[in-house]
Amino acid sequence: MTPLEKQRRHDNMAAIHSKDTKPELIVRKYLFARGFRYRLNHRRLPGHPDIVMRKYRTCIFVNGCFWHGHEGCKYFTMPKTNTEFWQKKITRNKERDQQQKARLAEMGWHCITLWECELKPKIRLQTLTALEYTLNGIFLKNHAKPYVLPQDHLDMAAESLHTTDESDR
């Protein structure tokens, strides 16, 4: 292994195994170590996405399970006191999340949401690997162009000329 490869491996491992790191930081460290480049909290995009990857036309939101009301998640339980207040607040947050994503989609951005609970040490690697896979899939889709063989193209043109000739007769 070259020193650079060693460092990269170390960075990957650190990103995967570090505990008590802010979820967003875990994602950023992993992506950077894997060679992805990004911008942070893009001010001009709706919702100020946590991570913006222009090359992939993708915004990544790293959501706290409580504040963004992660449905069916054990880290999202309504507080027993002031329940109505919290319910309203979280419902509003969720609505805003939806609106911002809809606007980003209209602008041609892909949106990926990662939840705090998906970045807990036990399932972190699985989540990040899936993220990388998704990003690569998006890149391929964005850059796929219908490919026409030059010869096919010429044949088609010749054929249509021929047809015209015949109908003229």
Q: Which of 25, 117, 130, 138 binds Zn ion (CB under 5 A)?
A: 117
Counting residues that bind Zn ion (by CB under 5 A) gives 6
Each residue of 38-50: b (16+ CB within 10 Å) or e?
Answer: beeebeebbbebb
Site string for Zn ion, 62-91 (x = CB under 5 A): ---x----x--x-x----------------
Task: Say which residues have a Cβ less than 8 Å from residue 113's Cβ, sequence separation at least 6.
Answer: 60, 61, 63, 97, 101
Task: Say which residues have a Cβ less than 8 Å from residue 140's Cβ, sequence separation at least 6.
Answer: none
**Residue with token string 């950077």:** 32
- SS3 state at 10: helix
Q: Which of 27, 104, 115, 127 binds Zn ion (CB under 5 A)?
A: 115
Q: Cβ closer to Zn ion: 122 or 169?
A: 122
Q: Cβ closer to Zn ion: 14 or 73?
A: 73
Q: Which stretch binds Zn ion (CB under 5 A): 1-9, 93-101, 115-123, 144-152?
A: 115-123
- Enumerate binding residues for Zn ion (CB under 5 A): 65, 70, 73, 75, 115, 117
